Structure 1
């Protein structure tokens, strides 16, 4: 597996006349990564995939909801939410920031500034459908009281008919401009592809009542990206071991 190396120094006491060994020797050590989230895909899926595609070792810490509640009450999470990534014990928050960080380590983020912008643009815009659906699941995170089932389904109906179709149409037009079909940007895999894959996977799963699982059926460029990611050997292996994400 690919290791992410960090340079440290160790002092060595040598005889004064010795010119064979330097007084400081660079030692390469691999940082320890620990990702904490629930035992589902959710907002950690793309991060987990990036780690696996990049063949970077990490601890996949999956909390039950009661375990999360207890840890949150104890103030263990930086912003009171997950996912969080600990790097050598230093906690990092916010799923998109974590994804970009891991994406760079896994070589899934462009070095070219314009290509990096195009990747960021898609990564950010994919939050629109995610946030709309999350709103119906945990309205408390948006400063609202929890609403009843009837109101939830009314809102989801609006999202399904008025929010997601034009969003998908716009995304399709953007992806159609990329010369290499099956990728969001350029001709190699990026975290933008992972975000599009994750969103389509959530829709196609059909577990969101009131949200059609066929919304992406008439978006061939989006589906081409989904196919590229889903057929990647590391992704195939990942879902074989983690069918829930």
Structure 2
């Protein structure tokens, strides 16, 4: 498949016979189609800022290590540094918007992205990171809970079972 894609890589989205690349561009497109992208320019800016910050979380996450001991040490450093720094920033953004999401105008793709990141930690997928890390972040916890119960999000996850 990769040799036939515009940039020789995935992901790839096809619409009406045209091919599109870049996961974050696809994410914004899908969010707009599903009603999870703000129409207000400032809300859209905040949404993008938070999505990019959550993407930074994933880019800084230490996936690779030569052995379990190194993985454990790298993840402890990650928790003390980038994970805590990003979580404080995200929490403040949520509080600044009233505590129910990143933007006061309603649920956004940034809220969904946050929920996915939090679920990755809570599920133990990101091993050597305490699964209750986010309990000290009431805004993050509230947004995650609300998004898990959002009808569209819940329907999607229910369809996977």
- TM-score normalised to structure 2 length: 0.88
Q: Is 1:136 aligned to residue 63 of structure 2?
A: yes
The equivalent position to 2:29 in structure 1, one of 101, 121, 128, is: 101
2:75 — aligned with what? 156
Distance 1:241 1:113 in 2: 33
How many residues end up aligned between the 2 structures? 160
Please report how far the alpha carbon of residue 241 of structure 1 lies from its aligned counterpart in structure 2 after TM superposition.
2.3
Contact 1:85 1:98 in 2 (8 A): yes
Q: Deviation string for 1:110-157 (max 9, x for gaps)?
A: 222111111111111111211122x424xxxxxxxxx41143332222
CA distance in 2, matches of 1:226, 1:200: 7
- Kept after mapping to 1: 8 A contact 2:115/2:143: yes
**Is the helix fraction higher in 1 or 2?**
2
Name 1:176's counterpart in structure 2: 95
Return the structure number with greater strand share: 1
Residue 218 (1) aligns with residue 136 (2): yes
What RMSD, in angstroms, separates the aligned Cα atoms of the two structures? 1.8
Once residues 77 and 154 of structure 1 are traced to their aligned partners in structure 2, the CA distance between those partners, rounded to angstroms, is: 38
User: In terms of mean alpha carbon deviation, does 150-159 or 216-225 score higher?
Assistant: 150-159
Which runs of no fewer than 5 residues in structure 1 stay unpaired?
1-70, 138-146
Contact 1:84 1:92 in 2 (8 A): yes
CA distance in 1, matches of 2:4, 2:142: 40
Q: Show structure 2 runs of 5+ residues with no match.
A: none
